[in-house]
A and B are shown apart, each in its own frame.
Chain A
Amino acid sequence: MDIPAQLLPGASHLEIVGNRQAVIEGVKSVLAYESTGIKLHLGSLALSFEGSDLLIRSYQQQQVILSGVIAALHFTSAP
């Protein structure tokens, strides 16, 4: 049976608009926040954004909207 991944409990959802904006749902916490890098805790994974002028536009109800110039993103296992 094919169940859409976004329906699975605890699944995070990532949406990137170009390299200027990203919307991440299912964020448990912010692990690191600098203008050159942001690291988010997504449960079993940690997602790191690297770039410049990074800014958290909004952080509410496990949803983070960040903007800036995104140069790279990395998934690592959660600490």
Chain B
Amino acid sequence: MLLLRLLRFLRGYVRFRAADGFPERFLNLCAQDDIPVWDAQRAGGVLSGFTTIPGYKAMCHCAKAAGMRLRMDQKIGLPFFLHRYRRRAGMLVGLLLFLLCLACLSGMIWSIEVSGNGRVPAEIILQACEDQGLRIGLRRSRLDAADMEKRLLEIMPQLSWASINLSGSSVVVEVREALDGVSVENNTPQNVVASKAGQLEVLEVYAGHPEAKLGQAVLPGQLLASGAMANRDGSTRYLAARAYVVARTRLELDAYVLRAPARQLVTLEKTHYTLRFLWLQIPLGPQPKNADALQCYVDRRILTAGGKALPCWIERRSYLALTPGTMALSDKELRLTAAERLLTDGWRQFSQAAFLRQEITVDLTEGGCRMAMTGTLQENIGVSVPLDTTAPPPE
């Protein structure tokens, strides 16, 4: 039924109204002449219904023969629509251009998104994709996802897995990051030694022979689990010792910030906007004269429609002229800078440790600010070191 209605719409049809005369004779004459009539309804001596455009023309003499006055009520369908706008060729051209653009643009990649990343910034992954040819404006048919995934993993060792999914005109680069510090287990003989001085609180030896006891104080490099195992017959066999060792260690961190540190001062700042559409670049203003000599920072604002990214974005380039100089910091700025440096160092070094107690001391002088952190930590101090199997075994 829907298809029939669509066909009728495409071919065009009219709603007619016939009054007076003999409606039955009119219908019979129409049927005899093979004039299609549908939804014919009689109400109050008036017969109304629908017919095709040629049908209406042929219907006139049937109406005359049946003594009816025929009138067209409504014109429906595409031919009438086109006829109405026949003198407006620009609209038709615009419509055709729109359809052409739609057909061309739907064959291109409009947006690229990255998901699944944590430590590796999305910008770096996107840049790597662009280096491999995956960029906005690329024809979808030219995208070889399997090959691209392989090349992406080759140039980015930080990733352990990558998948490029094409959904319509959007590409989603899904990645999994490689885990740091995880090495493939091997059977190379090795010992577990202490990386720091501390007091042992947990010592779980999974392979090898324990060489320390709980509560014992250990020094850096001290053997905690040995990979050399003595057999009953006096011989020695070697294996890769594995142990989980947690010790209470001492925390000592400090950060020093100069009151007037050397830094790059901004002497000139210019902003330049560019409208980007796929591969097109439309500058929205004059570019600074000596742009190549200036430091440039790029920021993108992607335009969206209904939550979907469009292949159109505004690029803001900030050009900065930097000159070396010094800038004195206030006491508050000094403290904040020192605290930031101290916390950043602490996070970098002890991200896996538990802080049991800590004290922060601030020493503010004319020259700068020293911020020190002391306390107690609980951390894993066991590290594996290769075992020299040529040396004689310990007694």
A residues lining the B interface (CB < 8 Å): 27, 29-35, 55-62
Known contacts A33-B23, A60-B34, A61-B34, A55 near B28 by CB under 8 Å: no
A60 engages B36 (CB within 8 Å): yes
Q: Which residues of B contact A59 (CB under 8 A)?
A: 27, 30-31, 37, 40
B38 at the interface (CB under 8 A from A): yes
B103 within 8 A of A: no
A-B residue pair count with CB separations less than 8 angstroms: 46
- Report the separation of the CA atoms of residues A25 and B27 in the bound assembly, to the nearest whole angstrom: 16
**Closest B residue, CB atoms, query A53:** B41
Residues of chain A contacted by B24 (CB below 8 angstroms): 29-33
Q: Interface majority SS on A: helix, strand, loop or mixed?
A: strand
Beta-carbon contact of A35 and B42 below 8 Å: yes
Q: Are A55 and B31 in contact (CB-based, < 8 A)?
A: no
Q: Is the CB of B41 within 8 A of A55?
A: yes
Q: A57 vs B49: C-alpha distance in the bound complex, in angstroms?
A: 9
Write the chain A residue with the least CB distance to B45: A34
Asked if B30 contacts A34 (CB within 8 A), the reply is no
Across the interface, do B40 and A55 meet the contact criterion of CB distance under 8 Å?
yes
In the docked arrangement, what's the CA distance between A16 and B31, Å?
Answer: 22
- Say if the beta carbon of B43 comes within 8 Å of chain A: yes
Chain A residues positioned under 8 Å from B37 (CB to CB): 56, 58-60
> In the bound complex, what is the Cα–Cα distance between A53 and B139 (angstroms)?
58
B39 at the interface (CB under 8 A from A): yes
- Nearest Cβ on chain B to A56's Cβ, whole angstroms: 4
Chain B residues, CB < 8 A from A34: 42
Chain B nearest CB, measured from A51 CB (Å): 14
Alpha-carbon distance between A62 and B32 when the two chains are bound, in angstroms: 9
Q: Known contacts A32-B24, A58-B36, A58-B37; can you find 13 more A-B pairs with CB under 8 A? A: A27-B31, A29-B28, A30-B31, A33-B27, A33-B40, A33-B42, A55-B41, A56-B37, A58-B38, A60-B34, A60-B36, A61-B31, A62-B31
Which residues of A sit under 8 angstroms from B49, Cβ to Cβ? 56
Q: List 22 A-B contacts (CB under 8 A).
A: A29-B24, A29-B28, A30-B24, A31-B24, A33-B27, A33-B40, A35-B43, A55-B41, A56-B27, A56-B39, A56-B40, A56-B49, A57-B39, A58-B36, A59-B27, A59-B30, A59-B31, A59-B37, A60-B34, A60-B36, A60-B37, A61-B31
